[in-house]
Amino acid sequence: MLILRDAGLGLTRFDQFQKSLGIAPNILTRRLAALTEAGLLERRQYSARPPRHEYVLTECGRDYLPILHALGAWGARHFGGGPLSALVETGSGRAVEPVVVDRATGTPLDAMGLELRRP
């Protein structure tokens, strides 16, 4: 999730992810490969000599970002204790509180009577 968060913030290069996350190179390599294989990131070569690659969000990865924001808001609401980053609207700078809604009605899921059914 943290790699996808960083990719959503514009980081694309291995060293940027490593510096941001403080993660061992071998672990980062495996996680980037897994996210690429899962279709959340795309690996693109940006230098031929030496060969270097960057990792950018795919459509699937971009579709995940609102879920990540909702998880972050949930964590901040229930477990946050210190200074946290805030999701803000770019144009106005207004803080945004993410919620999960039904696409058809715009109704927040927590305001609906829901049950999970097997197909």
Task: Give the Cα separation of 2 and 30 in Å (integer).
Answer: 14
Neighbours of 86 (CB within 10 A): 13
Q: CA geometry: angle at 35 spanning 32 and 40, to 5°?
A: 130
Every domain of the chain and the residues it spans: 2-59
- If pLDDT is split at 50, 70 and 90, which confidence band does 78 have? confident
- If pLDDT is split at 50, 70 and 90, which confidence band does 80 have? confident
Q: Where does 2-59 sit in CATH, by number? A: 1.10.10.10
By the 8 A CB rule, do 41 and 56 touch? yes
pTM, 2 dp: 0.81
